[in-house]
Amino acid sequence: MLLIVGLGNPDPKYRLNRHNAGFLAVNALARAHGFGPWRAKFGALVADGFIDTDEGRIKTLLMKPQTYYNESGRAVQAAAKFYKIPLKDIVVFHDELDLAPGKFRVKTGGGAAGNNGIKSITAALGPDFRRARIGIGHPGDKALVTHYVLHDFAKEDAGWLDPLLDAITDAAPLLAMGKDDAFQTAVTHKAPTPK
């Protein structure tokens, strides 16, 4: 089983915040691949389904932790333990300050780069899970970061965000097969680079 986690904050007021890019990605995956309804489990909202690939149907659990961003590790750990999911089969979608808006990168392991959601998951499971990083850019001053990430995407961001989410859903079979480099390439080639 593949576990795909989106990081974000559960309160509706945060729905379109930059910090909720991970939630937006798993919502798009759920819609595009016909996942079942969201239900509460593991301190999260989860949806079951399959991603169809050239290698067959891959059972997948989508997750949106409801513990708030900084404590996401609790929900991810609970699901990973219950289903005995190895770290190589856990993918976490999250916003990334260190990437320009619209840039997209996938990597396994590494540091948290100040991302408290990633820190929480690392503390719970170790660092060797897969990360799908959605660039949101940096406000330029560390003192402005909290306000920036907890603010909605700007209207003009839809010009790159919507196509990026579409590209993620289209290329999801590559992600499900563990072909992270090919997945990243497919997403970046389809999604337009912001001006």
**Active-site residue numbers?**
19
Type and span of the H or E element at 170: helix 158-176
Torsion angles phi and psi, residue 75, rounded to 5: -70, -45
Which residues partner with 132 through β-bridges?
Answer: 93, 106
What is the Cα–Cα distance from 64 to 15, expressed in whole angstroms? 12
Query: Which stretches of the chain are assigned E, i.e. beta strand?
Result: 2-6, 39-41, 44-53, 56-65, 90-96, 104-108, 130-135
Place of tokens 């919507």: 162
What is the Cα–Cα distance from 185 to 109, expressed in whole angstroms? 19
Residue 173 CB-half CA count within 13 A: 7
